[in-house]
Amino acid sequence: MGEETEWVSEYKTLLPNDDPETRREYWELAKGLQKADGLSTSEYLETIIADTINGDYDTAEAVARVGKYYDELPEGASERESEEADKVSARITEYLEKEGFKFAPVQLKLIHRDLFQDMPEFSPGQYRRKNIYKNEDVLHGDTVRYANWEDIEELLAYDFNEESKSVYALPFTSAQVKTLARLVSGVWETHPFYEGNTRTVSTFLITYLKSLGVEINNDPFKEQTLWFRNALVRANYNNVAEGIRSEPRYLELFLENTLMNTTHNLQSIDLTAKSRQGRRSL
Hey, is 57 helix, strand or coil? Answer: coil
Domain with 147 in it: what CATH number?
1.10.3290.10
Do 79 and 179 fall into the same domain?
no
Do 225 and 124 fall into the same domain?
yes
For 65-116, the pLDDT digits (tens) are 999 999 999 988 999 999 999 999 999 999 999 888 999 999 999 999 999 9
**261 lies in some domain:** yes
For 147-206, the pLDDT digits (tens) are 999 999 999 999 999 999 999 999 999 999 999 999 999 999 999 999 999 999 999 999
What's residue 12's pLDDT?
64
Do 131 and 182 fall into the same domain?
yes
**2 lies in some domain:** no
Q: Indicate the residue among 73, 99, 125 that finishes a domain.
A: 99
Report which of 223, 220, 214, 221 is spatially closest to residue 199, judged by C-alpha positions.
Answer: 221
Beta carbons within 8 Å of 271's beta carbon, 6+ residues apart: 138, 227, 230, 231, 233, 234, 250
**84 lies in some domain:** yes
Hey, is 10 helix, strand or coil? Answer: coil
Cβ atoms 26, 18 nearer than 8 A = no
Do 224 and 135 fall into the same domain?
yes
Separation of alpha carbons 100 and 112, rounded Å: 16
For 241-265, the pLDDT digits (tens) are 999 999 999 999 999 999 999 999 9
Do 197 and 231 fall into the same domain?
yes
**124 lies in some domain:** yes
Report residue 282's pLDDT band, with 50, 70 and 90 as the boundaries. Answer: very low
For residue 91, give its domain range: 16-99
Do 88 and 205 fall into the same domain?
no
Q: Indicate the residue among 64, 99, 134 that finishes a domain.
A: 99
**What percentage of residues in the chain have a pLDDT greater than 70?**
93
Query: Is the predicted pLDDT of residue 53 greater than 50, yes or no?
Result: yes
The pLDDT mean for the chain works out to 93
If one counts the domains in the chain, the total is 2
**What percentage of residues in the chain have a pLDDT greater than 90?**
87
Q: Indicate the residue among 63, 84, 99 that finishes a domain.
A: 99
DSSP sequence for 202-255: HHHHHHHHHHTT-----HHHHH-HHHHHHHHHHHT--BGGGTB---HHHHHHHH
Do 65 and 131 fall into the same domain?
no
